[in-house]
Amino acid sequence: MRRGLAAGNWKMNGTGASLSEIEALKAAHPDPSVEILICPPATLVERMSAVAKGSAVAVGGQDCHAAEAGAHTGDISAAMLTDAGATHVILGHSERRADHGETDANVRAKTEAALMGGLVAVVCLGESLDEREGGKTLDVIGTQLAGSLPDAITGANTVIAYEPIWAIGTGKIPTIEQIAEVHDFIRAELVKRYGAEGEAIRVLYGGSVKPSNAAEIFAVENVDGALVGGASLTAQDFSPIITALENA
């Protein structure tokens, strides 16, 4: 059985004042049956880790560099995230792929660095609207999956997030059948490549997940949780999503 994971991606949002949301999540979910993860901007990782200490809320980064250290202005390494208290890192988010030109090969190298550094990698994949409308979704996802993942991953150290780019921050979501089709495809590809371990790797759905649609998404087989942007910024929105996953 795969344990559910409710993950929040704060993107470039949040300052010290936002840490009260973590206090509220801790109070609302003292002993959840699923894992809870919040990935704040790098400036908040250490402070959030201190606030979350001893609770069920894990803290992650939103990116890390593929190198261990060196002349890379503005970047952070896996070891720096670990040192600040992070246990996870999001890699290959479509906004990083678009804004920073990250390729599948970059994402794979970053994933290797994250695993070496002892972090759980949350590797993101997803098709554009053009690719969806052109009937290329499964081809695109297959290519990203093959190129972005290292050869030796496990259910304990890697999570996949399927996030159709056109559903991110738009309020549009795929139909339940479309979500099921892609998640079943990813599961089959993972089992083909990693054998039994492919059954243990969690596959999250991301893109406009909200309290109002979470339960029907979590009812889909092979959806093991969600990566949530906008609705993870407040405990008021994120808490019912966590509860929906516990009840799935």
Catalytic residues: 93, 163
* Nearest CB to ligand PGA, comparing residues 82 and 208: 208
With CA atoms as reference, report the closest residue to 37 among 205, 186, 227.
227
With CA atoms as reference, report the closest residue to 203 among 155, 171, 169, 239.
155
Near ligand PGA by CB under 6 A: residue from 228, 241, 242, 245: 228
Near ligand PGA by CB under 6 A: residue from 42, 52, 107, 209: 209
Say if residues 89 and 60 touch (Cβ distance below 8 Å).
yes
Q: Does 168 bind ligand PGA (CB under 6 A)?
A: yes
Closest distance to ligand PGA from the beta carbon of 120 (Å): 16
Q: Interacting stretch for ligand PGA, rule CB under 6 A, among 22-30, 51-59, 71-79, 202-210?
A: 202-210
3-state secondary structure 150-209: CCCCCCCCEEEEECCHHHCCCCCCCCHHHHHHHHHHHHHHHHHHHHHHHHCCEEEEECCC
* Nearest CB to ligand PGA, comparing residues 147 and 211: 211
Q: Does 115 bind ligand PGA (CB under 6 A)?
A: no
Binding residues vs ligand PGA (CB under 6 A): 9, 163, 168-169, 206-209, 227-231
